[in-house]
């Protein structure tokens, strides 16, 4: 009987943590989904607030490991470019498509969800389950002990399946008839693999920063989930690459 009470307390603690995580996740989905649906200034405002929150967390982490004021300034400038570029791309895909000459309409909420957001979410889900079920060699245990090559493969498969479904159902932009060709499948698989690598690289980058700073989470802004940077690291990496590839040349040219 003496050992039952500690176990009961642990079970209650796990249940409480799970409830907090679930409640936070529901709130995040509702807020992000509502802003995505409304678009316009609402979506722009959410992207801006998220970017400010991530930059605040970025600065907190940097101050814990930057060697001197010049290094800190360089890191802060890099963070502003990295997070700001990703936020701009995220805002533009909904409000103004992928370039200054693409018009003010942007993509619809379903197109943004399926073409830009779901593949990154699929990477996290696929990597989590593949890593848990298969395990195997770690990618970089000194940086992130839980990340495995099997998880990366699972994330790539999951993102590829989303991309194939997007192509087959013609949910995303382009194409006139539902269906997918062999070249379309190959392109979808390549896109899924590329998104998985970029998203996981963003995860590793944030883990490396936190390990240097000696912190577990970027902050405690989201109950049960850590900080905004913890939740958005993969999205930031993917959208920053989108910014470099699609937006930056258009503005510079």
pLDDT at 100: 47
Residue pLDDT, tens place only, 58-114: 999 999 998 888 999 999 999 999 999 999 999 988 887 655 445 555 678 888 888
Q: b/e string for 4-20 if b means 16 or more Cβ within 10 A?
A: eeeeeeeeeeeeeeeee
- Locate the domains of the chain by residue range: 4-252
Burial class of 200 by CB neighbour count within 10 A (0 to 12, 13 to 18, 19+): buried
More reliable by pLDDT, 253 or 31: 31
- % of residues, the chain, pLDDT over 90: 39
d(CA 33, CA 48) in angstroms, rounded, equals 16
d(CA 31, CA 34) in angstroms, rounded, equals 5
Residue 172 gets which letter from DSSP?
S
Burial class of 253 by CB neighbour count within 10 A (0 to 12, 13 to 18, 19+): exposed
CA-wise closest residue to 86 among 251, 202, 243, 247: 243
| 13 pLDDT tier (thresholds 50, 70, 90) | very low
């Amino acid at each position: 009987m003496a050992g039952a009470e500690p176990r009961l307390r642990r079970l209650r603690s796990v249940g409480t943590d799970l409830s907090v995580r679930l409640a936070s996740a529901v709130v995040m989905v509702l807020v992000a989904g509502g802003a995505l649906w409304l678009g316009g200034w609402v979506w722009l405002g959410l992207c801006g607030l998220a970017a400010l929150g991530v930059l605040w967390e970025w600065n907190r982490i940097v101050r814990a490991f930057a060697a001197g004021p010049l290094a800190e300034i360089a890191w802060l400038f890099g963070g502003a470019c990295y997070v700001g570029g990703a936020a701009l791309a995220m805002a533009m895909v909904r409000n103004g498509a992928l370039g200054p000459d693409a018009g003010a309409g942007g993509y619809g909420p379903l197109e943004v969800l399926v073409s830009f957001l779901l593949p990154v979410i699929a990477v996290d889900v696929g990597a989590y389950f593949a890593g848990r079920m298969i395990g195997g060699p770690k990618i970089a245990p000194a940086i992130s002990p839980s990340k495995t090559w099997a998880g990366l493969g699972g994330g790539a498969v999951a993102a590829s399946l989303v991309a194939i479904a997007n192509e087959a159902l013609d949910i995303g932009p382009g194409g006139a008839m539902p269906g997918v060709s062999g070249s379309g499948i190959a392109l979808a698989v390549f896109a899924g693999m590329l998104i998985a690598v970029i998203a996981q690289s963003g995860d590793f980058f944030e883990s490396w920063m936190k390990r240097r700073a000696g912190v577990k989470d970027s902050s405690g802004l989201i109950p049960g989930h850590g900080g905004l940077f913890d939740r958005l690291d993969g999205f930031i990496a993917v959208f920053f690459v989108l910014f470099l590839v699609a937006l930056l040349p258009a503005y510079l040219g």
